Amino acid sequence: MILASKAREACLARQYDALFQQIYQDDALVSYQRARYAEALLQYIRLYGDGEIEIYSAPGRSEIGGNHTDHQHGCVLAAAVNLDIIAIAGRASQAIQIQSDDFALSPIEIGSLSARQKERGTSEALVRGVCARLHALGYQVGGFNAFLTSDVLIGSGLSSSAAFEVMIGVLLNGLYNQMRIDPVTLAKAGQYAENEYFGKPCGLMDQCASAVGGLTYIDFQDLRQPRVQKLSVDFSAFGYSLCIVDTQGSHADLTDEYAAIPQEMRRVARFFGQEYLRDVSEEAFFSQIAEVRQACQDRAVLRALHFFAENKRVSQQASALMSGDMDGFLRAVQASGDSSYKFLQNVYACHKPQHQSISVALAVSEKILKGQGVCRVHGGGFAGTIQAFVPDAIVPHYKANIETIFGKDTCHVLKIRPDGGRKVL
């Protein structure tokens, strides 16, 4: 640990610049991160005094392949990106106190970790749920004071909630467990908190991508031990950039839309005596599709169709990247986007068809790119962001044109970050 004031002095003296470059993978961001960390340290001192602290980071993620496959025990390809939450934290006795740029959480008493109905849908529920799960697994849980600041935009499709959950786990991991809790366990604790305490159904991809880091292929067939493989792939070597466009839509009031996707997929699985589509034979599904329509209705059938094809595309994407076949990778990305739009149907909310910001972003992106890149809905869908793979040479053209519609700085040109949730200092 180090005094917050000493850490701030060292930060302003550029002693952490090499560390910032390593974490954020972009020389152009070093000065921004230096100022950001220095300001966060100052805020901690103002809130809690000049005590001994540690610094932690948890990244946002970009889903590269596998749109809504994880909750059916499928496969995904995901990447940690260089937008993150950082936390300045010091140990405390009996309670967790968290403040950020935007909110102050009610204190969480370590001795009272049962779920509370009145907290459902709140950040307090996520904190309490992560603590409860790690405690149940035999890890040490204790109090801390923390100041958090985030550039993972809420509702951006970069999974701000998963980054927050992973951050809570990483804080407990570092402050009380000598960083010995493995990333997948932290991811599962975040998923547990979101499902059981927050009250939102979710898979494990977002948390796993944030906790593990890098470009990661994840097979969730065995949820107790997901198969996680980090791929050594540098997108910049292909001459393409990963662009995430914030269409200025909100994920608010969309819980029912999200929940319907796993519910309908599992309805189809149960028709075949299974709980998840991963355990259903694709051949059996197609041979009985007429009966499935009668029992489960058409949208469930279409969403199952999406799952079977999308799950195969993930390994195709990973193989293409590992073999240097960028054209094959891009074809799979475009096919994924087409399937999400037509079959998964998560591009706009059925109860709000007049609001279709993602549809507009996709249409305009195709016009700007003119076949030189590809785009797709990103993350959970319904509102939020799209993802585009854009040739480096036309990134400025794409960014300038798409931002005339959605606003300045809505197009984020990202790097893939090698580390997941980690201790910085």
Contact predicate 389/242, CB 8 Å: yes
CATH number reported for the structural domain that contains residue 190 in this entry: 3.30.230.10
Q: Would you state the pLDDT for residue 332?
A: 98
Contact predicate 60/51, CB 8 Å: no
Q: Would you state the pLDDT for residue 195?
A: 92
Domain that residue 43 falls in: 2-233+419-423
225 has a pLDDT exceeding 90 = no
148-157, 316-325, 352-361: range with highest mean pLDDT = 316-325
Checking DSSP bridges between strand 227-231 and strand 95-100, what pairing results, if any? unpaired
Is residue 65 exposed (0-12), middle (13-18) or buried (19+ Cβ within 10 Å)? buried
The answer as to whether 83 is a domain residue is yes
Q: Report helix, strand or coil for 109.
A: strand
Write out the two tokens for 63.
């889903």
The answer as to whether 385 is a domain residue is no
The answer as to whether 391 is a domain residue is no
The answer as to whether 86 is a domain residue is yes
Total of domains in the chain = 1
Span 175-183, average pLDDT: 97
Q: Where are the beta strands (DSSP E) in 39-94?
A: 52-65, 75-92
Span 364-369, average pLDDT: 98
Note the pTM of the prediction, 2 decimals: 0.83
Place 319 in a pLDDT band, splitting at 50, 70 and 90: very high
CA angle at residue 205 from 56 to 128, to 5 degrees?
55
pLDDT single digits (tens) 113-169:
999 999 999 999 999 999 999 999 999 999 999 999 998 866 555 668 899 999 999
Span 253-280, average pLDDT: 94
Q: Would you state the pLDDT for residue 202?
A: 76
Distances in whole angstroms, Cα of residue 137 to Cα of each of 112, 140, 221, 417? 16, 9, 22, 29
Lowest mean pLDDT among 62-66, 146-150, 205-209, 398-402: 205-209
Contact predicate 305/342, CB 8 Å: no
Place 418 in a pLDDT band, splitting at 50, 70 and 90: confident
Mean pLDDT of the chain: 93
pLDDT single digits (tens) 50-102:
999 999 999 998 999 999 998 999 999 999 999 999 999 999 988 999 999 88
Contact predicate 83/29, CB 8 Å: no
Q: Would you state the pLDDT for residue 205?
A: 82
Please name the residue ranges forming H helices in 282-382. 282-287, 289-296, 298-322, 326-339, 357-369
170 has a pLDDT exceeding 80 = yes
349 has a pLDDT exceeding 90 = no
Residues 6+ apart with CB under 8 A from 151: 36, 83, 84
The answer as to whether 376 is a domain residue is no
The answer as to whether 364 is a domain residue is no
Span 194-203, average pLDDT: 88
The answer as to whether 246 is a domain residue is no
The answer as to whether 242 is a domain residue is no
